[in-house]
Amino acid sequence: MTCRYTFGGDEHLFVEVDEAMSLEAFFVSLAITNILRDAKVEGVTEVCPANASFQIKFDPDRIHPTRLLGMVKEIEADASRTDSRLDTRIIEIPVYYQDPWTHGTLMRFRERHQDPGSTDIEFASRINGFEGVDDFVAAHSGAPWFVSMVGFVSGLPFLYQMVDRARQIEVPKYLRPRTDTPKLTVGYGGCFSCIYSVRGAGGYQMFGITPMPIYDPEQQVSYLKDFMVFFRPGDIVKWSPMDREAYDQTLEAVTNGQFEPRVRRVTFDLDEFNADIDRTNARLMEVLYAD
């Protein structure tokens, strides 16, 4: 794949790695941005990797745009020879599917939905060919997900399902965005799942909610005291279904400062993944639940 370069105004360089989302495109984006960040280039003020692209903010008084462009193109050539392995984290995220809060919200906005007569998760289940919601939840939570981008709103992760394309869930956004979405809603739009880090407008289908905070600008949450944003590009997520009782217990533990997410260090190898997806995912689950 060959990157496409576009300047955005006087201070931004946008680089599209590929038109379609794939783990290969994400790895190229991550490799280039990591090399650029480590180089500490004079005049580069911000580097933001995304799903299959990235953006660079720079000071044109400190580095000429054409010089930056040439530098990034050289890095692109080097990035194509980088290792396919990534040292990262695998994280368990508890989810209360079909919770009363997202259900109440989605029912207020049925006139903006493709199928006003069903819930979001019922609609998603049907158009993806599942026999029922339980089968859909099993598919959504059964395989790990790659965090390919963090942003749009502060701390919000975009997650890409780690299965072959034939098994990937795809769901359209609402016909018109909602004006409300509960905080920590687990949503879905296109090929991406997400967690709404804050309450606000949104257009993704709503499947459930997690009791686990992922963004805390006050840094009062026990595991967010060092940094207010939990996720990083390259993290791997495993959804874990929970019922109302477990949700309430976890929420109480979060409030009391006693909840710590299950996080394990892991090495992910893209070549091994492409050679045997299910075996790689099984190995990731062994690492996550080793004790």
The tens-digit pLDDT sequence of the chain (291 residues) is 688 999 998 999 999 998 888 888 888 888 899 889 999 999 999 998 888 899 999 999 999 999 999 999 999 887 766 668 899 999 999 999 999 999 999 999 999 999 999 999 999 999 999 999 999 999 999 999 999 999 889 999 999 999 998 999 999 999 999 999 999 999 999 999 999 999 999 999 999 999 999 999 999 999 999 999 999 999 999 999 999 999 999 999 999 999 999 999 999 999 999 999 999 999 999 999 998
Amino acid present at 57: K
Distance CA 86, CA 234 (A): 8
Instruction: Give how far the C-alpha of residue 256 lies from the chain's centroid of Cα atoms, to the nearest Å.
Output: 27
Round the CA-based radius of gyration of the chain to a whole number and report it: 20
Q: What is the DSSP letter of 165?
A: G
> Are the C-beta atoms of residues 172 and 112 closer than 8 Å to each other?
no
Amino acid, res. 172: P
Q: Helix %, strand %, coil % for the chain, to 5? A: 35, 25, 40
Helix, strand or coil, per DSSP, at residue 123 = helix
Beta carbons of 222 and 257 less than 8 angstroms apart: yes
Tokens 């903010």 belong to 57
CA 98 to centroid of chain Cα atoms:
21
As a dihedral over the C-alpha atoms of residue 161, residue 163, residue 164, residue 167, rounded to 10 degrees, the angle is: -80
Give the count of beta carbons closer than 10 Å to the beta carbon of residue 52. Answer: 22
> What pTM was estimated for this model as a whole?
0.92
On whether the CB atoms of residues 7 and 14 are closer than 8 A, the answer is yes
The ranges of the chain annotated as CATH 3.30.1360.40 are 4-82
Separation between Cα atoms, residue 274 and residue 170, nearest integer Å: 20
Q: What is the pLDDT of residue 30?
A: 87
CATH of 87-288, one of 1.10.3720.10, 2.115.10.20, 2.40.100.10, 2.40.50.140: 2.40.100.10
Question: What pLDDT is stored for residue 80 in this prediction?
Answer: 67
Return d(Cα 239, Cα 217) in angstroms, integer: 24
Rounded-to-integer distance, Cα 240 and Cα 154, Å: 23
In this structure, are residues 13 and 5 in contact, taking their beta carbons and an 8 Å threshold?
A: yes
CATH topology classification for 4-82: Gyrase A; domain 2 (3.30.1360)
Do 261 and 223 meet the contact criterion of CB atoms below 8 Å apart? yes
**Residues carrying CATH 2.40.100.10, the chain:** 87-288
